[in-house]
Amino acid sequence: MASRGRNPPTQAPLDERARRVLAAIVRDYIQGGEPVGSHAIARRPDVDVSSATVRAVMADLEELGYLEKPHTSAGRIPTSRGYRYYVDALLRVKAPSAEERDEIERQAHEAAPRLEGLMTAASRVLHSLTRHAGVVAAPRPQSERLQRIEFLQLREGRVLAVLVSRSGAVRNRLLTLPRAISSLEQSANYLNSLIADLTLAEAQARLRAELDRDRRELSELQAHALALGAQAVQVEQPAMVIEGQASFLEDKALAQDVAKIRALFRALEEKEQLLSVLDRTLDAEELRIFIGAESGIVGPDLAIVAAPYRLKGEVVGALGVIGPTRMDYSRVVPLVELTARTVGLTLEEP
């Protein structure tokens, strides 16, 4: 199975029997949410050993940090380390059903071409299909390619700069002019000849280079247009949509811990932290799974599955789901990948 962006296993490899027992415990706990005992595992055809042997293997896995006892019962539950080994080495994904594929494509196409509507639709469909919170970050401004810039004259020396990207994202920025510019349309045409199809970062560098030229080489219109453009192409934080935070209350372990729930909602309100996690997915340019504290923003009981989406082959944004560590990764991973692929393809449509 392809790595799908997961980290390669850093733990010592387990023998085949231990791998089968660990996989069975993780799957049973994901399905039932209760500590898993040796008798339940021994009865499984994919394990097929005695209860005594399973107990011995479980004790070894607990000593290695893959399992833990939540209380004095004989049952075990996976630790963050156990989940990490499972998703890195043992996970077998299930292809989305035809109905799930149709639902993802339908909602994306109905929301297009408005980027905001597409983001909302993607977060909602992720929530509805996985029953976890869906999160979608708009295309990262610094990585998007500009289609054009337009200016609209306002009163009192102010101008509205309208940046239209290739993805269809529209960003407005209010600018103040030190002096009136006679032809905003000509200024926009000049700037578009310089920055069309560049990213914001590339556009910033191009305009700075033009401004650093000998001013005697520039006409008055060009100098004013460059100063205006430099103000307009500043990088800002991308928008983000989260749908279905209330799903955390459906997990018994989380719902019983009020302090943990409050801390979680506070963390999700800090969008900069969540965007930083999605940026790590963008940098990897492939699906990532963050288990427990690996994300840096949520506790040991939560996980984030995130994937980048592309526009004409270039990674521009990311989306994913946030849920308990006992989420069904075999379903969630392919649904997140399919949604990311569908969002990218929808952005490319005329």
Domain match, 105 and 194 both: no
pLDDT for position 316: 86
Domain match, 227 and 245 both: no
Do 106 and 341 contact (CB within 8 A), yes or no? no
We report the CATH number of the domain holding residue 217 as 3.30.390.60
Domain match, 341 and 305 both: yes
The gap from C-alpha 74 to its chain's centroid, in whole angstroms, comes to 37
Residues 27, 94: Cα–Cα separation, whole Å: 13
Domain match, 126 and 255 both: yes
In a domain, 256, yes or no: yes
We report the CATH number of the domain holding residue 65 as 1.10.10.10
For the chain, the residue count is: 350
Domain match, 172 and 265 both: no
H helical segments located in the chain: 16-32, 38-42, 51-63, 80-85, 98-111, 115-130, 184-195, 200-211, 220-232, 252-255, 258-269, 271-284, 329-348
pLDDT for position 311: 85
Domain match, 276 and 319 both: yes
Domain match, 74 and 218 both: no
Number of compact structural domains in the chain: 3
Q: Which residue numbers in the chain have pLDDT < 50?
A: 1-9
- Tokens linked to 81: 């380390």
pLDDT for position 281: 93
Phi and psi at 155, nearest 5°, equal -85, 165
Give 329: exposed, middle or buried? Use CB within 10 Å, 0-12, 13-18, 19+.
buried
pLDDT for position 12: 65
Domain match, 102 and 221 both: no
Do 160 and 152 contact (CB within 8 A), yes or no? yes
pLDDT for position 179: 63
Do 295 and 277 contact (CB within 8 A), yes or no? yes
Instruction: Among 173, 197, 232, give the residue marking a domain's end.
Output: 232
pLDDT for position 159: 86
Domain match, 131 and 162 both: no
Domain match, 128 and 277 both: yes
Domain match, 258 and 325 both: yes
Q: For residue range 160-177, list pLDDT tens digits in order.
A: 889 888 877 788 888 877
Domain that holds residue 201: 146-232
In a domain, 3, yes or no: no
Domain match, 185 and 314 both: no
In a domain, 5, yes or no: no
Residues 80, 216: Cα–Cα separation, whole Å: 64
